[in-house]
Amino acid sequence: MLPWRNGSRRAPMDELNAVAKANGLVVIEDAAQSPGIRYKGRYTGTIGDMGVFSLNCHKIIQTGEGGVIVTDSDEFAGRLRLIRNHAEAVVATGMAVSSLVNMVGWNYRMNEVEAAVGKVQLRKLNSLLVRRRQLVDRFLNGVKGLSGLRPPSIREGCEHSFYRLMLQIDPDIIGFDAPVLVEILNKEGMDFYAGYLPINLFPMYQQQIAFGDRGCPFRCPWYEGKPDYSMDALPVVQRMRKVSFTTEVITHCIAETDIDEMIAAFHKVWARLDEVRDYAKQ
């Protein structure tokens, strides 16, 4: 199982771990967006069997590229070292150099300079998270009370890294969907977007092409079903595309004046909702 959260809002890990244990599954936490964040007193990435962190250029802490995987399991740690280094037995503790490994490995080795940058970044992590929360609090307080705008919710016992600020609207109240709001806000100099393109809309699924020229695996002779990758088959995803939008610009690098400009843009749009509704009908 690979639990992931959008914008670092944690998945219900206790429940997922229980399901995994009952079915003999391994839990690999995608903690790329939530380093230093706790879930019921435990740091994300340490709750499942393995935790994966990303350190590429736009994450909370970064080394330019690369990432880190953590685990308490000697078995998993050994396999990860093999995967990182061409599956060469020389890198795994307790294995003879001549041992054969039935595994395909890659070159995922981090160089010393990136590692040194990462160690310094790690020491700054807590202060960077505090700064993000301060700026997000300033923004949310500034847009509080705007009709139909919903701030992010945080589950009890959880923290939020605010790697990405996720907001929602009520289209029935403001009169149009999130993509329209994103377009209007960005005309005011903002940098919002309406989230990720749903995976089911990728050409691989819509055209059902993956391996070779015979439609494998979508028209596999051993599979008798007919997969449906339309948006109608995913009503929750369809709804979220209409109500949610996000930004990644609230980082430790920006100033309070930048937040105030964002707040002013929201109030300007909300003061002219009737005009936006007319625009959305065109």
pTM to 2 decimal places: 0.86
Which pLDDT value is given to residue 127?
97
Instruction: Tell me, yes or no, whether 1 lies in a domain.
Output: no
| Tokens of residue 65, six digits | 């590229």
State whether 103 and 161 are in the same domain: no
Q: pLDDT digits over 84-125, tens only?
A: 888 887 765 666 656 666 788 889 889 999 999 999 999 999
Mark which of 81, 107, 122 sits at the end of a domain.
Answer: 122
State whether 111 and 144 are in the same domain: no
Domain span including residue 23: 6-122
Mark which of 107, 122, 137 sits at the end of a domain.
Answer: 122
Q: Domain tally for the chain?
A: 2
Phi, psi of 231 (to 5 degrees): -70, -25
Q: What is the CATH number of the domain that holds 202?
A: 3.90.1150.10
Confidence of residue 197 (pLDDT cuts 50, 70, 90): confident
State whether 133 and 234 are in the same domain: yes
| Tokens of residue 265, six digits | 């843009």
Lowest mean pLDDT among 57-61, 255-259, 269-273: 57-61
Instruction: Tell me, yes or no, whether 228 lies in a domain.
Output: yes
Mean local confidence (pLDDT), 59-82: 91
Q: How far is CA 19 from CA 6, 25, 85, 233, in A?
A: 21, 8, 32, 25
Mark which of 91, 122, 153 sits at the end of a domain.
Answer: 122
State whether 81 and 152 are in the same domain: no
Mean local confidence (pLDDT), 2-24: 84
Which pLDDT value is given to residue 208?
84
Residue 8 has pLDDT above 60, yes or no: no
Mean local confidence (pLDDT), 160-181: 95
Which pLDDT value is given to residue 219?
78
Lowest mean pLDDT among 21-30, 33-42, 210-219: 210-219
State whether 187 and 230 are in the same domain: yes
Which pLDDT value is given to residue 156?
80
| Cβ neighbours for 35, distance < 8 A, ≥ 6 positions apart | 44, 45, 53, 59, 60, 61, 125, 161
Which pLDDT value is given to residue 98?
62
| Strands of 67-71's sheet in order across | 28-30, 50-54, 67-71
State whether 129 and 265 are in the same domain: yes
